Chains A and B, each alone.
Chain A
Amino acid sequence: NAGVTQTPKFRVLKTGQSMTLLCAQDMNHEYMYWYRQDPGMGLRLIHYSVGEGTTAKGEVPDGYNVSRLKKQNFLLGLESAAPSQTSVYFCASRLETSGTYNEQFFGPGTRLTVL
């Protein structure tokens, strides 16, 4: 199993450009998440999905959109990038099992710079 993979690993954008970050997991997990990591701020949840075709806002959703058309993929879109969106983006997935808690598995991250 590859686990959670993220594409691309690095990207530089100019202000106003758009892009899509792809997260893929091969563990058949129901839950998927997008976080951003900034120095001194830990991880903050952008959006999440509890299943195919469903998405919900997290803690810092403004400026981002997401889609979960297939269970294994979770896309994060930036329609008009801003310098404040310079960050490291992490995707995670989790298996949902009734009556217990399963850990989140994280991808390796995407380092995005917006000039």
Chain B
Amino acid sequence: AQSVTQLDSQVPVFEEAPVELRCNYSSSVSVYLFWYVQYPNQGLQLLLKYLSGSTLVESINGFEAEFNKSQTSFHLRKPSVHISDTAEYFCAVSASGGYQKVTFGTGTKLQVIP
């Protein structure tokens, strides 16, 4: 069985400040890890993913996440947030073989304050 924990349900941050959204996972097998973003009244969009190789993965809009196997974490970071980053962010985990069921975390609402 696998699970994902996002401890912060809401994170307020001032514009141009750095932010970290925390994600911890639990799994007995090798995993793939994902961050999805959901803008208001929209579906989820993949932000970035870790499948293998470099433990640091980046998105096209300045977010990055680092896979830390020893701490079973996949925290999402951005050095300087914009108003447009206001959204809900979901961490997700999938076993790296077989059917690849994806388990989602409960989400973190990022509120960027002007």
A103 interface residue per 8 A CB criterion: yes
Complex contact A90–B43 (CB within 8 A): yes
- Determine the distance from Cα of A108 to Cα of B100 in the docked complex, in whole angstroms: 23
Binds A, one of B56-64, B67-75, B79-87, B103-111: B103-111
- Determine the distance from Cα of A50 to Cα of B98 in the docked complex, in whole angstroms: 12
Q: How many A-B residue pairs have CB under 8 A?
A: 45
Asked if A50 meets B102 with Cβ closer than 8 Å, knowing A40-B9, A101-B51, A106-B44, the reply is: no
Give the nearest-CB partner of B101 in chain A. Answer: A45
Complex contact A40–B32 (CB within 8 A): no
Q: Shortest Cβ distance from B47 into chain A, in angstroms?
A: 10
User: How many B residues are at the interface, by size bracket?
Assistant: 20 to 34
Selected A-B contacts with CB under 8 Å, 27 pairs: A4-B43, A40-B106, A42-B4, A42-B90, A42-B104, A42-B105, A43-B90, A43-B104, A45-B102, A90-B43, A90-B44, A92-B43, A92-B44, A101-B32, A101-B94, A103-B34, A103-B49, A104-B44, A104-B46, A104-B102, A106-B44, A106-B45, A108-B41, A108-B42, A108-B43, A109-B41, A109-B43
Q: Which residues of B contact A (CB under 8 A)?
A: 4, 9, 32, 34, 41-46, 49, 51, 90, 94, 96, 99-102, 104-107
Q: Which residues of A contact B (CB under 8 A)?
A: 4, 40-45, 50, 90, 92, 100-101, 103-104, 106-109
